[in-house]
Amino acid sequence: MAREYQIQKKPRTLASGIDYRKELNDEQYAAVSSPAGRSLVIAGAGSGKTRTLTYRVAWLLDHEIEARNILLLTFTNKAAREMSTRVRELVTQDISDLWAGTFHSIGSKILRRHAEEIGYTRALTILDRDDQKSMLNTIVTAMKLDTGKKRFPKADVLASMFSLVVNTGQSLEKVLAERYEYFEEFLIPMEEIRLKYIEKKQQTNCMDFDDLLVKTVELLKSRADLLALYRKKFRHILVDEFQDTNQVQCELIELLEGESNSLMVVGDDAQSIYSWRGADMQNILTFPLKREECRTFAIETNYRSVPEILDLSNEAIRANTERFDKNLKAARVAADMKPALVAVEDPHMQASFVGQRILELQQEGIELDEIAVLYRAHFQSMEVQMEMTLRGIPFAITSGVRFFEQAHIKDVSAFMRFVTNRRDEVAFKRMVQLMPGIGPGSADKMWAGWQKSGWADRVETPETFSSIFANIKPPKKAEPDWQQMGYILDEMLRREGGFARPSDMVYSILEGIYDEYLKATFDNYEQRKNDVEKLMEFGNGFDDVMLFLEQLSLLSNTDTDGDPTKKQEQDDEPKITLSSIHQAKGLEWKVIFLVWLAEGQFPNGRVLESDDNAMLEEERRLFYVAITRAKDQLYLLYPMINPKSYTGDIMQQPSRFLNDFPADMVEQWNVGHSWDDDDAPF
For the annotated catalytic residues, the residue numbers are 49-50, 240-241, 271, 629
Measure the N-to-C terminal CA separation of the chain; round to a whole number of Å. 96
Taking the CB of residue 201, how many other CB atoms lie within 10 A of it? Answer: 20
Distance CA 252, CA 111 (A): 13
Nearest CA-CA partner of 429 in 479, 474, 460: 474
Long-range contacts of 480-488 (CB under 8 A, 24+ apart): 480/149, 481/434, 481/435, 481/436, 481/513, 482/432, 482/435, 484/512, 484/513, 485/431, 485/432, 485/435, 485/512, 485/513, 487/512, 488/415, 488/512, 488/513
Q: Are strands 236-239 and 262-267 parallel, antiparallel or unpaired?
A: parallel
DSSP string, 90-136: H--S--TT-EEEEHHHHHHHHHHHHGGGGT--TTPEEP-HHHHHHHH
β-bridge partners, 73: 101, 239
Using the Cα atoms of residue 336, residue 341, residue 343 and residue 346 in order, give the sign of their dihedral. positive
The CA distance from 485 to 465, in Å, is 9
SS3 percent helix, strand, coil of the chain, rounded to 5, is 55, 15, 35
Contacts of 501 (CB under 8 A, 6+ apart): 539, 540, 542, 543, 545
- Is 433 exposed, middle or buried (CB count within 10 Å of its CB: 0-12, 13-18, 19+)? middle
DSSP letters for 517-553: HHHHH-TTHHHHHHHHHHHHHHHTT-S-HHHHHHHHH
Strands (E), 164-286: 206-207, 236-239, 262-267
Rg (C-alpha) for the chain, rounded Å, is 29
CA–CA distance, 38 with 102 (Å, rounded to integer): 21
Distance set, CA 414 to CA 433, 436, 518 (Å)? 11, 17, 15
For residue 238, the cross-strand partners are 72, 264
491-529 as b/e: b if 16+ CB within 10 A: bbbeeeeebbbbbbbbbbbbebbbbbbbbbbbbbbebbb
Phi then psi for residue 126, to 5 deg, are -100, 120
Q: Tell me phi and psi for residue 278, to 5 degrees.
A: 110, -5
Question: In a 10 Å sphere around its CB, with 0-12 CB exposed, 13-18 middle and 19+ buried, how is residue 301 labelled?
Answer: middle
Beta strands in 525-629 (DSSP E): 576-580, 589-594
